[in-house]
Chain A
Amino acid sequence: MPAFNLKIVTPHGVHYEGEAEAITVRSVTGDVSVWPNHVNLVTALGVGKASVTVNGVRRTAACASGVLSVLKNDVTVLANTFEWKEDIDLERARENLARYKEELKNAKDKKEISMAKIRIQRELTREAVKTEKE
């Protein structure tokens, strides 16, 4: 099976380093899938679900904001947050969601509104990834 080198890094540590067969992430313009020998690409990431296929097994994760770069079969994901499905704390995500919704209601200016919206999106992604059926 052809593969590429994948590295997933956030400020909280390295979440994956090794070979992978495919990765799909949500970029600012829509979902992007990278397969082996993909053309060189750099794109900014939005907030959404990510999935990585390693040895035929597909793993999902919640990923928020960052950069995806593909350079000569070296794929790097630099994200603000990246959590594998098994690491997501559903209860906390739901608590945060309620809190951010409250924040959105009380938001005063444009910036606060957009911040709250991004945060809500992030928690919704976490929830969706965690509750998704295999």
Chain B
Amino acid sequence: MASGSMKEIKLRIKSVESTMQITKAMELVASSKLRKARERVEKARPYFLELHDTLSDIVAANTDFSSEYLVQRPVKKSGYVLIAGDRGLAGGYNNNMFKFFTEHSENKNVCVIPVGKKAVEFCKRRNIEIVTDRYAQVEDITTSDCSDIGGMMADLFKAGDIDEFFIGYTTFVSMLSQSPEMVQILPIVSIDTDVENKSASVIEYEPGAEALFDMIVPMYVSGMTYGAITESWASELAARRTAMDAASKNAKEIVANLSLEYNRARQAAITQEITEIVGGAGEG
């Protein structure tokens, strides 16, 4: 045990400590952003519930119109909105989503609208057809971006280019658990047409039930997209927070072990020195 190894240990402690500083900072940033993200999810929730209810009401109250948004076609091509993060270091957040997507889209002719930088990179690496890579920034996506995405989906579906649409996102179960999900968004199958009809009486539609439905559906799709993105963003931050918390804890443990080792090395060096001196004195 020479002073060489002591120096080495000292260096390692320093490097681990500086890594710990980074992971701690990232954890704090994720926590503070998470608070805002969860607020956004909470604020957006009543809108989706109402939107869903209104659409259900229209579908339920009306039996004499058909919309192509409600018709299930034979599937030649499937569209996905794939929502992932902009950055890594969030535990399994991105990978879980991609794995889930790969399983779900197996043996399908696939086309993707990626949201988030990691999603764009993933699609490019796998040579998956991309509709647009404009949404490579999940953090600052706005409602108007989402209505663009929604309009794009509705257009592609209506034109017959894509026969079904899914949104792949990560639900925020709790601070410690987030799970990837896939929801079908077009054609609309999730709407419960058996809901008890609130109004057996007539409803006026301006302008016309079908025209109105065609206007509301893109809104519904955009709304669902926005909801999925806000939820995923909160999940990403929670995942990052947990991952960074674990990393900081590990770093702390390593530092503790290294300090112990360092102290032992120092003690050994001192003991050796004393032995040498005592040995030298005995001889003299």
Pair A28/B57 contact, Cβ less than 8 Å: no
Pair A67/B205 contact, Cβ less than 8 Å: no
Considering only CB atoms, which chain B residue lies closest to A68 in the complex? B206
Q: Shortest distance in angstroms between B237's beta carbon and chain A's nearest beta carbon?
A: 19
Assembled-state Cα–Cα distance A27/B212 (Å): 11
Chain B residues with a Cβ closer than 8 Å to the other chain, count:
28
Identify B43's interface contact among A13, A44, A69, A119, CB under 8 A.
A13
**Chain A residues whose CB sits within 8 angstroms of the CB of B281 once the complex forms:** none
**Chain A residues whose CB sits within 8 angstroms of the CB of B127 once the complex forms:** none
Q: Shortest distance in angstroms between B210's beta carbon and chain A's nearest beta carbon?
A: 12
Considering only CB atoms, which chain B residue lies closest to A10 in the complex? B47
Pair A11/B199 contact, Cβ less than 8 Å: no
Q: Shortest distance in angstroms between B239's beta carbon and chain A's nearest beta carbon?
A: 23
Query: Size range of the interface on A?
Result: 20 to 34
Assembled-state Cα–Cα distance A28/B147 (Å): 17
Identify A40's interface contact among B51, B148, B204, B226, CB under 8 A.
B204
Identify B205's interface contact among A13, A14, A42, A71, CB under 8 A.
A42
**Chain A residues whose CB sits within 8 angstroms of the CB of B54 once the complex forms:** 42, 67, 69, 76, 78
B58 at the interface (CB under 8 A from A): yes
Assembled-state Cα–Cα distance A14/B204 (Å): 25
Assembled-state Cα–Cα distance A28/B212 (Å): 10
Considering only CB atoms, which chain A residue lies closest to B152 in the complex? A111
**Chain B residues whose CB sits within 8 angstroms of the CB of A5 once the complex forms:** none
Assembled-state Cα–Cα distance A41/B206 (Å): 8
Q: Shortest distance in angstroms between B63's beta carbon and chain A's nearest beta carbon?
A: 15
Pair A28/B205 contact, Cβ less than 8 Å: no
B interface vs A, CB < 8 Å? 43-44, 46-47, 50-51, 54, 57-58, 143-144, 147-148, 198-199, 201-207, 212, 215-216, 219, 223, 226
Known: A28-B215, A65-B147; 6 extra A-B contacts, CB below 8 A, are A11-B43, A11-B226, A39-B202, A67-B216, A67-B219, A80-B147
